[in-house]
Amino acid sequence: MTLRDRISSWTFVLGGATALLGANLLPLVGVVALGWSLWSLLVVYWVEAFSTVVLAAVKTLFAERGSPGLSGQIEPLHELREKRGGWKVREEWPPIYPRNVPFALSMLGVWSVTVLPLSVLYWLSAAPPTVVSLDLILGLGALVVAQVVDFVFEYIGTEEYTEVSAQEIVRTPAQLTVMLLSLGLFAAGDRTGGLLILVGVVLAKTAASLYRFYVEHLGTPLLGLGDRLVDDEDLSEPPPELDPPESEVQARVAVSATSVLLGSIWSIAFGFANRLGLGVLALTGLAIISREPLWITAGLFAIGVIVVARVLSYLFRYGTIEYQRRGDTLVAYDTLLDAPQWVVTVGPFTEFSVKNAIADRLLGTGTLTISGVESVDRDDVQLGPVTDIDRVVDTLDLPVRETERPERDPAVIGAASVLMLCFVAVPVGLFFTSRVSDAMAGALTIVFGPFLLLPVGVLLWAALSRI
């Protein structure tokens, strides 16, 4: 019997459905026999949704198949999506794939900046009469244990991770979050809830869980519900790992770690170009306006975490690469993951160009851009930064004739600097005028500052690129 037959067998499906049914109907015992209120159910389902999000984030790390990506969005640490290969924590465990980290952070980020703070504010303002009791704690533990057992024995034990992508796993937490918010609004309108209403909530939640389990394991939506609730877009691709050429390594070149580190500073801005980053900036801005030291410290700490994560992610993306010449092919090989990242055939029609990177201009290093690489989804890849670009061209025997960057242009540097100072002078001037209070100046800077960052960033790049 194949793995797919074993997973889809009626014995396995019925066993999993029975465990799921028992875990979901447990709150019904609390409602009927123990007198749970609607607020108690809300606590139970909030913990279940939170544990589902955390476990789903862990699941995404092991998902073997590729993910097309979130259209129109920049995932946190998005450059890790380009990584090939995985890393095993223990030999008997499946590998963790760095390319799935952005999806895990996306799920956790949505909860961190939306559901979690809204839940805290909602709970503080509503002041629900929830009593923590032993039966409530046991109910919470049963739901969490059921999910952990499902993760260990089904997802890992039956190697389900080999048949799903990280993007597919995102669906379940999103659906549970919608259900949780709907239940929260319902609880706000009825703080006590009659027995019939409470039983109906539990049965509706149980039916939704069973239907999701049925669709995931049998893949046959009933009455076309799957077409309405699930997007038709394919969220899974074949694993993106590459097989290295059979030729032996003839030459190899390492990257310049100093140049990679300096280049990571420019990439920090992308750490805030997503929901998590923007949410942290917004919450930090509100904390500054409120002048609460504790909240300001928490906001600055969160910003620091994002900055450090961006730098480490960039170093992991480019700083562990070794460029190898194997016969007529050039391979970017990750020495930490022990896996090739891209492979390109070197010939007279291979297009090389010099990248005008700011870090290279400041440190005298060099980076090449290679176009038309078929082993990756992007239009081009980069070779470098390396300490001596001319020596690398000779060592790897590359058909590159010109390695010079654009010459230094003082006129461009001066014009960009003057325009940049003009943009910066607007918010700074608010703090020196007597017509605007410091609090108002700070609020205006926080609200309109992000809109000024784009032109200032572009001008700064223009000046540094011709230094």
CB 25 within 8 A of CB 33: no
pTM to 2 decimal places: 0.74
pLDDT for residue 24: 66
Report the distance separating Cα 380 and Cα 102, nearest Å.
21
Structure tokens at 104: 């895990």
What integer best gives the mean pLDDT of the chain? Answer: 77
Tokens 């909240």 belong to which residue? Answer: 295
Pick the closest to residue 27 from 173, 185, 205, 191 (CA basis). Answer: 205
Tokens 């080999």 belong to which residue? Answer: 162
Residue 231 has pLDDT above 50, yes or no: no
Report the distance separating Cα 337 and Cα 240, nearest Å.
14
Confidence band, pLDDT 50/70/90 cuts, at residue 340:
very high
Structure tokens at 190: 């009825």
What phi, psi does 133 have (nearest 5°)? Answer: -130, 170
pLDDT for residue 447: 67
Q: What is the DSSP string of 76-133?
A: TTGGGGG----B-SSTTSPPBPGGGHHHHHHHHHHIIIIIHHHHHHHHHHH-------
- Beta strand 366-371 with 351-354: parallel, antiparallel or unpaired? antiparallel
Q: Is residue 157 helix, strand or coil?
A: coil
Q: Average pLDDT, stretch 114-134?
A: 70
Query: Above pLDDT 90, what percent of the chain?
Result: 17
pLDDT for residue 211: 63
Least confident stretch, 10-19, 52-61, 253-262? 10-19
Least confident stretch, 90-99, 172-181, 247-256, 275-284? 172-181
pLDDT greater at residue 426 or residue 381 = 381
The amino acid present at 442, given as its one-letter code, is: G
End-to-end CA distance of the chain: 66
What phi, psi does 155 have (nearest 5°)? Answer: -70, -45
pLDDT greater at residue 31 or residue 96 = 96
Structure tokens at 109: 């980020």
Least confident stretch, 42-56, 149-163, 232-246, 423-437? 423-437
Q: What is the DSSP string of 142-204?
A: HHHHHHHHIIIIIIITTTGGGG-BHHHHTHHHHHHHHHHHHHHHHHHH-SS--HHHHHHHHHH
Residue 62 has pLDDT above 70, yes or no: yes
211 DSSP β-pair partners: none
Confidence band, pLDDT 50/70/90 cuts, at residue 28:
low
- Beta strand 329-334 with 321-326: parallel, antiparallel or unpaired? antiparallel
Report the distance separating Cα 338 and Cα 100, nearest Å.
17
Residue 114 has pLDDT above 80, yes or no: no
pLDDT for residue 199: 63
Query: Above pLDDT 70, what percent of the chain?
Result: 72
pLDDT for residue 53: 86
Residue 121 has pLDDT above 60, yes or no: yes
pLDDT for residue 405: 76
